Structure 1
């Protein structure tokens, strides 16, 4: 839910300087308003309205309301998009992307609208007389607006780079561009520019505790974003020229930037600004789902949602989350993203994150919960049944905010960067890693295991901990790409699902069936340890048997009826990321519509 006052008039309707439709902002100039740029930026109030218009381009169906955060990050070794392959979101998930895919062009255009709006603010706000000669309060506020615009531009371009690679990177408004056809820029140069921008933005925006609480960017968010962009700049990416995944030889320079930013954030001097919530579930159930500001500041940057429409709201809890019948007290929802069996069993049973990230239930018309089968588990951080107040019926938009970065990410980025720089984890890196892990095992901290002290072992522990901490937050795919591990981890997921099905190795205790019944509306298991032991009631009367491991046994009858978990008429493990191709699938293609708009100035990405 947006806590800041949403601009009543869209920013694009408040200025007479050019406004554009999608990518056409580089090719067409269409005055849309009677107001000039000077009038639009004539006061702090007007400039604030303009800046809120930049924020608006983060949200909605073509932003972090569904496509950027719920379609683009799948398939991975954590979860997949549900349903049969198509030329839309499921084509993205299976890595069978075509240049006619229906889900790529509009988000691309919206991200560039955000860049254009941010560029206008970055260009105009420092030119306002009050920026340097106004009252102290006005100068402070205008500098904050300037820093926010720099950070928002970095976020828009970061999203473009991590999905499309080398992209056009305009750093001035279109009305100032000598050539409105902007060619793709080298991503390294773009990252360097953005990292410098964020260093400036840090000096302009306040800390979280210095201003009223809302979704606007503050200093901690800028520093965390700068660390994240630095890790991506220092990571692997698919290069357009060599058509291979490569990391630049100067990558440690950027890991050092990331480490230093994170070190400042996790220092005792700044723990009053941002820290972990004591209880992992509270982040999702108590704060996001109840529209209550997070008192610890763990959610450092989030996209505000509201308005109940496809332009400014979000679909979390409706598209994804547990499957819920429309006739229930909660309203319809869930099922768009499936969490994989190997991911469920990646969690220690004492890890409190498992049951938050992967609910094992569906909710029927009479509000009773039923046990889902192992191959159809959903994600759970955004649940319609957690919403306070409830929203019955078939309304699509629940108003849930999308977290861009959490403090847990800062701790793990610090640990990762420090290990890479020093060749082994320092005591500080181990402490940061274990802080995340101990929160996950709250009440059973002694069960966190032994933290590796060698470089390779600690890196692998970081890879796994980020897997467990950030499930269904749209992070895993991009982490694996920057580590050049996406293909490896997809292959591991397929193997592990096969091992679970076959009841071998680490999965020898996974039960074939689970017996349960309802106790009120909740699920009561016959076994006290239902996911790791086989127990059959005698008699079975009154108990429901649900396929668990058995659900992974795939078969097709003579009439074509499929039994067991499947994707596109294949066993689950064979359908995951089915068409993933190394040195191609790490990037999206430019769609035909985008290429046509740019008039031949863009080069198609490798393999398309």
Structure 2
């Protein structure tokens, strides 16, 4: 969906959700559903608009979700004490800081954008159901399924990050929304699963061509499996993983490097990847000339790309490194705010072939100050300039599902660690030179294999927005963080048990006191 048409929705639907006027307007006064949902094209533009919000900096466009799912764990650290990543990475977050937005990115921005999509999905579902002007029943079913997927995805993030939260699936006015309390986690999870099962039943196996950025039925199945696993419903999780492994068109690639090939971004292992395009901007902030917010270009590679001012280790060689980069049409023009953590770099097995994409401490023969996660790099100056990348944003891939299946098999009643190993045999074999190394975790007991999976997910999925989610559902985030050494700050000293969730931002509490009435501690932050 690399198209400028996705920006059209900005001028039609619910842009007020991103500003202080969140509770001041009635959506029915802004949009006339009776006239807008008059064709299939209208409905599909609404769906495209929801994808556009997903690409905002607060979600998948920069490192909005990375902050919550990777930073403050044991894989990624910044290369300097940058203010806007400090509250999460250093566990100094509070209600007031949750409202502080830098580069259109904060806890509050993430909360608002997730609910913007939910609100738009509710409207789309309501107006498309039974509306023959939109198209045939099959067309309507697909549009509703995609809307329910996007709604389920957003509620999954809300459920994961905040736990109990406002939950609604009807078209409500802002006045009605402003008095909603927090729905319990079990009810939210049940609603998500219902939405996602409908999506799996009605979406396509995969989308090709200019539709490749759309989520397929298998993206819905991945989230369902993750929810079952967090609920420790291991057999249900395994069953869902096996549906994906056995019925989807996806397969594991022969090598780890091929998965991250920038010229094959829709490869067979990728279940869902959000597409981006260069030079497509919709909103500009005068404080950051040339940078777009809520556009369709990708910031994220710039966060992983090094800064030349930081490199190399021998500062006398900086000019030589710059020359060598330019000779290859490359540049160290990123921010370096997402580098491999000290702990991750020190512990990554030296005989693991995945290391070369996850720990880069020498480039073009120059020793570097920091270890970088190069699988997210794009240093090509002409094709991928700073803060204007066309690189896709990988969301789910089959390697993750194989690891999930192995974990479910090991944890389910009557599970067998050796049988669990077979689900990840291909992953291990492509990660090591010899069969002996690949099979080093074969023959373990349940607890030993459980701990092996902890590490295997760490090495395989580094920086792919799974780590804190995993550590939290395993119940070990506190123990892991307290036993780490960090370059900056003291997250190991600051972390507390309540940091497994985020606070609801102060502005939301002021707009809707019922949120605090339902939980006076605000997830432990007061």
TM-score of the alignment, normalized to the shorter chain, above 0.5: yes
What is the rounded CA distance, in whole Å, between the counterparts of 2:28 and 2:201 in structure 1? 35
3-state SS of the aligned residue for 1:405?
strand
3-state SS of the aligned residue for 1:168?
coil
Task: Give the TM-score normalised by the residue count of structure 2.
Answer: 0.84
Residues 522-571 of structure 1: CA deviation (Å, up to 9, x unaligned): xxxxxxxxxxxxxxxxxxxxxxxxxxxxxxxxxxxxxxxxxxxx424xxx
1:579 matches 2:494: yes
1:318 equivalent among 302, 305, 321: 302
Q: Could you say which residue in structure 2 is the equivalent of 1:528? A: none
Residues 118-139 of structure 1: CA deviation (Å, up to 9, x unaligned): 11122222231267xx5xxx43
What is the rounded CA distance, in whole Å, between the counterparts of 1:127 and 1:82 in structure 2? 54
3-state SS of the aligned residue for 2:339?
strand
Q: Could you say which residue in structure 2 is the equivalent of 1:399? A: 390
Q: Could you say which residue in structure 1 is the equivalent of 2:524? A: 606
In terms of fraction of residues, the more helix-rich structure is 2
Q: Could you say which residue in structure 2 is the equivalent of 1:146? A: 144
Q: Could you say which residue in structure 1 is the equivalent of 2:356? A: 355
The within-5 A match list for 1:319-334 is 319-324=303-308, 328=326, 329-331=329-331, 332-334=333-335
* C-alpha contact (below 8 Å) 2:482/2:492 kept by paired residues: no
What is the rounded CA distance, in whole Å, between the counterparts of 1:200 and 1:30 in structure 2? 27
What is the rounded CA distance, in whole Å, between the counterparts of 1:32 and 1:324 in structure 2? 51
Q: Could you say which residue in structure 2 is the equivalent of 1:532? A: none
1:29 matches 2:26: yes
1:68 Cα deviation after fit: 2.3
* C-alpha contact (below 8 Å) 1:424/1:458 kept by paired residues: no
Q: Could you say which residue in structure 1 is the equivalent of 2:404? A: 413
The within-5 A match list for 1:372-387 is 372-373=368-369, 376-385=370-379, 387=380
* C-alpha contact (below 8 Å) 2:91/2:491 kept by paired residues: no
1:25 Cα deviation after fit: 4.8
RMSD across aligned positions (CA):
2.8
1:390 matches 2:383: yes
* C-alpha contact (below 8 Å) 1:19/1:29 kept by paired residues: no
* C-alpha contact (below 8 Å) 1:13/1:32 kept by paired residues: no
1:74 matches 2:71: yes
1:8 Cα deviation after fit: 4.7
1:315–1:577 CA distance, 2 compared to 1 (3 A): farther
3-state SS of the aligned residue for 2:272?
strand
1:24–1:186 CA distance, 2 compared to 1 (3 A): farther
1:372–1:207 CA distance, 2 compared to 1 (3 A): same
3-state SS of the aligned residue for 1:361?
strand
Q: Runs of 5+ in structure 2 lacking a partner?
A: 101-105, 282-291, 310-321
- Which structure has the greater CA radius of gyration? 1
What is the rounded CA distance, in whole Å, between the counterparts of 1:176 and 1:596 in structure 2? 15
* C-alpha contact (below 8 Å) 2:417/2:446 kept by paired residues: no
1:106 Cα deviation after fit: 1.5
The within-5 A match list for 1:182-581 is 182-208=180-206, 213-232=211-230, 234=231, 251-252=232-233, 255-267=234-246, 270=247, 273-284=249-260, 286=261, 289-290=262-263, 292-296=264-268, 298-306=269-277, 307-308=280-281, 309-312=292-295, 313-324=297-308, 328=326, 329-331=329-331, 332-361=333-362, 370-373=366-369, 376-385=370-379, 387=380, 390-392=383-385, 395-425=386-416, 428-441=419-432, 443-448=433-438, 449-494=440-485, 566-568=487-489, 575-581=490-496
1:580 Cα deviation after fit: 0.8
Q: Could you say which residue in structure 2 is the equivalent of 1:509? A: none
Residues 453-510 of structure 1: CA deviation (Å, up to 9, x unaligned): 422112111111101111111211110001111112223433xx8xxxxxxxxxxxxx
What is the rounded CA distance, in whole Å, between the counterparts of 2:395 and 2:52 in structure 1? 15
1:422 Cα deviation after fit: 2.7
1:112 Cα deviation after fit: 1.0
Task: Give the TM-score normalised by the residue count of structure 1.
Answer: 0.73
Q: Could you say which residue in structure 1 is the equivalent of 2:315? A: none
Residues 404-448 of structure 1: CA deviation (Å, up to 9, x unaligned): 21111111111111221134326542211222212222x434321
1:293–1:205 CA distance, 2 compared to 1 (3 A): same
Q: Which moved more, 1:407-416 or 1:71-80?
A: 71-80
